[in-house]
Amino acid sequence: MNQPLAINFPNNIKLTVKREDLLHPHISGNKFRKLKYNILEAKKQGNEAVLTFGGAFSNHIAATAAAGKEYGFKTIGVIRGEELVDKIESNPTLRFARDCGMVFKFVSREDYRLKTEDIFIENLKAEFGDFYLVPEGGTNELAIKGCEEILTPQDVEFTHIACAVGTGGTISGIINSAGSNQRVIGFPALKGAGLLEDICKFAKMGNWELVEDYHFGGYGKINEELVTFINDFLDKTNIPLDPVYTGKMFFGVIDLVHKGYFPENSAILLIHTGGLQGIEGMNKELLRKKLPIIKIKK
């Protein structure tokens, strides 16, 4: 669903939000798109379990666990950080995933780096039995195929499409389905991740760019300015944004609109990729640091 913003921007620029966050209450946004063909493939291969990887507040872990519960397969989450083993109850993402039936393996940060090595995967198979493997962040060929379904034929009316970037999978799908006269702009949520190469691996067209100025210091890093922006945006539009991905991207687009980055009469489509489950965990951090918290939509 596309929701035009009833806010006046300079240069007659119009902003519209693609509400992918409303696709499903728990498998929201790009997670739905990325998991769709992977789950169909797992079923086709006769796998009863899906194993994947993520950090303490991972949207992908939460969505995979929810999909397992809804579509009837076991889920195994390999989680970065051994110390989290005692923190499941106090971590909203892990508690949700566990309640959906996900089984965890907590590994040290060093071991987590080995997650694509054959020996690491073989050891996991020895421990958990056979499984269908979905990489960290859910990005693989089938995920890109799912993300190619984010844009619909009606979206040709937009001159620019903006999207938050983590591993680069979502933007790759969008690039592949965008028209050659449309510009796709990615806003990395992390600092210096070498994403250009990853995106080039999957993206079939060259009509895109990354704007690397809005990561707010790196992955999961936020400040008061961003919290205030997210809260004001909710007040003005009734659209909630997450602090790790969509909040930074929306902040970036609106800042660039005011700085004259986009030509007059641009029609910009902002992809809301979900991630709202992360707000609760982030608010705990903000409270600990005595900073203002993110309002939760009622």
Ligand X SMILES: Cc1ncc(COP(=O)(O)O)c(C=O)c1O
Q: Which residues contact ligand X (rule: CB under 6 A)?
A: 29-30, 59-60, 137, 139, 164-171, 242, 245-246, 273-275
**Shortest gap between Cβ of 132 and ligand X (angstroms)?**
19
* CA–CA gap between residue 140 and residue 160 (Å, rounded): 25
For 268, the 3-state DSSP assignment is strand
**Shortest gap between Cβ of 200 and ligand X (angstroms)?**
14
DSSP state of 256: H
Shorter beta-carbon distance to ligand X: residue 201 or 258:
201
Shorter beta-carbon distance to ligand X: residue 77 or 181:
77
**Shortest gap between Cβ of 193 and ligand X (angstroms)?**
10
Shorter beta-carbon distance to ligand X: residue 84 or 270:
270
Task: Specify the pairing of strand 132-133 against strand 160-165.
Answer: unpaired
**Shortest gap between Cβ of 127 and ligand X (angstroms)?**
26
- At 182, list the tokens: 């449309």
Residue with the shortest CB distance to ligand X: 275
User: What single-letter amino acid sits at 143?
Assistant: A
| Residue whose C-alpha is closest to residue 173's, from 57, 53, 37 | 37
**Shortest gap between Cβ of 170 and ligand X (angstroms)?**
3
Shorter beta-carbon distance to ligand X: residue 259 or 297:
297
**Shortest gap between Cβ of 139 and ligand X (angstroms)?**
5
DSSP per residue, 100-125: TT-EEEEE-HHHHTTTTSHHHHHHHH
Shorter beta-carbon distance to ligand X: residue 76 or 164:
164
The three-point CA angle 232-238-243 to 5° equals: 55
Shorter beta-carbon distance to ligand X: residue 68 or 274:
274
| Residue whose C-alpha is closest to residue 32's, from 63, 1, 53 | 63
DSSP state of 140: S
**Shortest gap between Cβ of 180 and ligand X (angstroms)?**
22
Shorter beta-carbon distance to ligand X: residue 171 or 184:
171
User: What single-letter amino acid sits at 46?
Assistant: G
**252 within 8 A of 163, measured Cβ to Cβ:** no
* CA–CA gap between residue 140 and residue 234 (Å, rounded): 33
For 271, the 3-state DSSP assignment is strand
